[in-house]
A and B are shown apart, each in its own frame.
Chain A
Amino acid sequence: MATAIRRRSLRLRRARSAAMIALTVIAALLATLPLIFILALLIRQGASSLSVAFFTAMPKPVGETGGGMANAVAGTVMLIGIASAIGLPVGIGAGLYLAEHRGARLASVVRFLSDVLNGLPSIVIGIFAWQFLVRPVKHFSALAGGIALGVMMVPLVTRATEEMIRLVPDALREAALALGYPRWRTSLTVVLRTALPGIVTAALVAVARIAGETAPLLFTAFGNQFWSTSVTQPISALPLQIFSYAISPYDEWHALAWAGALVLLALVLIISLVARFVTRSRFGAGHD
């Protein structure tokens, strides 16, 4: 009798195990469903209103069909440029410092604060940039927007650079020093160069992260209905334009918002895929 009970309870336990495993499968399905829905809808809605004009034409006033987001595309490219010009050197420099001063107290403080900076809400960085860069000069500018995005890039690039440099074997550094290279040349031309593919990946991942940011731009770059390439003037950006078209009451603008979202997502995904490819080729042809 005792064995009968034990057998039944074992069956029960097995059934429970199978049920829980089934639940994790359902969780995986539920987690991937929204992504598939969003992607499918984006492609369906976005592709129908996407055309060459989207990239070449300027926005048209309400009521006229057609028009594009040429200014927003150019604005996004420019903002990414400004952000990279700030975020990359600062991030790579700080990453070099962290990798070369592993045990130092300042290094652990900087490492921790860079994680703190990474966790700050983007809207807080937006109001900071406004208070610091827009308020004193009393007008919105592409420069303020680019700097806000650059600030967001810094912690991403810093931590990734540090990790990539740590992967460089010490033997390489020692070999260069033994050959009489000064430390700075060793760091820049041997260590940094070896870690370069990894750092390029990190830079691309950081760009992909900030390319879709809207909140830091709301009160800095602000948006612009006209063509502008001046750093001191307000400038449009794809996420800003998608936002203002999405909350507008007009169907033509909604269609353009979908097209803009498709372009923005494609941009982010292409950058992410290139980043993956750079790392893969590195590990394929790399060490062992």
Chain B
Amino acid sequence: MTSNSLYGASIGDRIYRIATTAFALSIPLLLVLLGVEIAVAAWPALHTFGFSFLTSSRWDAVDGVFGAAPAIYGTIVSSVLALVIATPLAIGVAIFLSEFAPPWLRQPVAFLVDLLAAIPSVVYGLWGIFVLVPLLREQVMPFLSDRLHLGGTPFFSGPAYGPSMLAAGLILAIMVLPYISSVTREVLMAVPRSQREAALALGATRWEMIRGAVLPYASSGILGGIILGLGRALGETMAVTMVIGNRHEISASLFAPGYTMASLIANEFSEATNDIHLSALMAVGAVLLALTLVVNMLARWLVWRVQRQGR
């Protein structure tokens, strides 16, 4: 230290320290700025409509009355649907890759699954419009409602338009699968070898070993991965906007078109004519922001807890 200051280096050190600290501080500042800007812009709508903004289904740009319930409902339903479809698959893939896959197959399959995360959202949307939605309309939806006679249940009733909550859930499932599976794979690989060997030594079959000795050890990490996937699904915009049908209505049927918060903003923001409409869209953004913040913090906490256990 003294020799540094002898050579006049302390000024350089001070500049360096101030500069890196400033860059580091820019992240909290950015988040505060983001929160404040969105809160300020959302305030008029939140103030005018109060609690009914969250519970009302009436979204009327002409009369200037806004309730975001259908979008909130659609966001949650499409994301949960995606998780219901993606989670078993993702955990299956992760178990296959970490426990059963022959070494030569491990790398390529892992690469292909990771590649799913590299495809831009808008490309998924393009595929959704021209492949998934027609497929649902002409094959899957008639099959579900007529062949499997599920048309009588509220979840699969109504006409098969194509663009629907089901389409959004399916496309989101494909998009969040790589996130859940890569976290799960990491957590599974962090399970100590002795854990597996002990189970096998007690005479467990390979599946019993996974079920009894590996999965319980990894469970809260896997849950963290699932919630991280949920965070992704809640905020996903483009692909959902292109296949969900964009309608302000709460319907129990997965065949019916719906809306999510992100797709509502994407669709109406540039067409918003008056200040209250803009403010309502900002308020939708604020709700989405709050929801993803809570979900992400929960996920980080779970993963962090597992990592600390592992040490």
Contacts and interface: CB of A to CB of B under 8 A. Distances in A.
A226 interface: no
A98 B118 contact: no
Given A27-B92, A113-B28, A183-B9, A212 B120 contact: yes
A52 to B, nearest CB: 22
B12 A261 contact: no
Contact of A24 (B92, B113, B116, B124): B92
B206 A21 contact: yes
Interface in B210-258: 210-211, 228, 231, 234-238, 242
Contact of B118 (A93, A125, A269): A269
Interface of B: 3-4, 7, 9-10, 12-13, 15-17, 19-28, 30-31, 33-34, 37-38, 41, 88-93, 95-97, 99-101, 109, 112-113, 115-116, 118-127, 129-131, 174, 177, 181, 205-208, 210-211, 228, 231, 234-238, 242, 262, 265-266, 269-270, 281-282, 285, 288-289, 292-293, 296-297, 300
Interface stretch (A54-62, A126-134, A167-175, A278-286): A126-134
A12 to B, nearest CB: 10
B27 A31 contact: no
For B10, B101, B113, B289, the residue with the greatest tally of chain A CB atoms inside 10 Å of its CB is: B289
A92 B22 CA distance: 12
Nearest to B285: A127
Contact of A31 (B37, B89, B123, B207): B89
Nearest to A184: B16
A97 B123 contact: no
Contacts of A110: 24-25, 27-28
Contact of B120 (A94, A100, A265): A265
Contact of B24 (A27, A93, A119, A130): A93
B147 to A, nearest CB: 21
A122 B235 contact: yes
Given A121-B235, A154-B27, A96 B20 contact: yes
Give the dominant DSSP class at A's interface.
Answer: helix
A53 interface: no
18 contacts: A17-B207, A21-B207, A25-B96, A34-B174, A35-B113, A93-B24, A94-B26, A97-B21, A114-B27, A127-B281, A184-B13, A185-B12, A214-B121, A215-B262, A219-B269, A239-B120, A246-B129, A268-B118
A1 interface: no
A114 B24 CA distance: 9
Interface string A236-247: 000100110011
B27 A121 contact: no
